[in-house]
Amino acid sequence: METRRIGSLDVSVVGLGCNNFGGRLDAEQTASVVDASLDAGINFLDTADIYGKTLSEEYLGRALRGRRDRVVLATKFGAKVDDERKGARPEYVVRACEDSLRRLDTDYIDLYQLHTPDGTVPIADTLGALDELVQAGKVREIGCSNFSPAQLREAEAAVRPGGARFVSVQNEYSLIHREPEQGVLDECARLGIAFIPYFPLASGLLTGKYRRGQPVPEGTRLTEERFAGARSDENLELVERLIAFAEARGHTLLELAFSWLLTRPTVVSVIAGATKPEQVRGNAAAAGWRLSSEELAELDGILPAPAASA
């Protein structure tokens, strides 16, 4: 599989999101999904301390025993684990890293990401703590998630001379959710920061299994109340138009969702979750469509304009 760079790291253009581990998947099911990922050429695995209430890291660590060196392992900190474990205070950064290292059963994290901005802590303080982890060899590269253009600029300005800087930002981005086009992608290009889209399939809407006028498949994410808005008539109509576009060219909606993102400036790896090995194999195979400039222009006429970001 093709690889691209996040700082010093070579990552597969399709990554595995590990948010289902420890929640929808037990340890054995997690291992089967990880096995399928490695077999499919995926080397970039992205988790977080809050996924599965910390079990995602634990199950992932077990699944990677004896082959840790085959993957680029990314995790996150800062979102609320409990009342004590949250935020980006320097002392907590160190504790969170040690906790993740233990759960992942490894002595280093390839990409350690601040999961969400913490407005109560100067970003310079957080960066200082992260730099100490890099200097200690516990972290190779650092990144952030859910940052705005202004927050990316603030973080870059706060880097100490010779200190570690954010080499990536992970924000929501898909054919349906295009907010990063309103500033974040441009800022990434200016600063040399890799962009990692999450929810690239719009919580499943872009898999092709949700169709206008048809019942929502049972047991899927979009049956959950918090995702009900994604099933709007407007979105389902857009899905039908995108399916028609893809099928007219001998491709699937899934292939379009992955391949379109990989044409975007600074996008390095499209990470998607999976609950079954066959989903992993489908995701890994979906990134091969080389969209022409004419096709991209036609898509711009189909897609809604991106919403403005802060």
DSSP state of 203: G
β-sheet bridge partners, residue 77: 114
DSSP state of 306: P
The single residue of 51, 92, 112, 210 carrying the catalytic annotation is 51
Torsion sign across C-alpha atoms 178, 183, 187, 189? positive
Q: Is 51 a catalytic residue?
A: yes
Task: Please tell me the distance from the alpha carbon of residue 279 to that of residue 302, in angstroms, as a whole number.
Answer: 27
Question: Residue 6: enclosing H or E segment and its boundaries?
Answer: strand 3-6
Q: How many residues does the chain have?
A: 310
Of the candidates 61, 70, 133, the one whose C-alpha atom is nearest the C-alpha of residue 98 is 133
Query: What is the three-class DSSP state of 160?
Result: coil
**Which residues are identified as catalytic?**
51
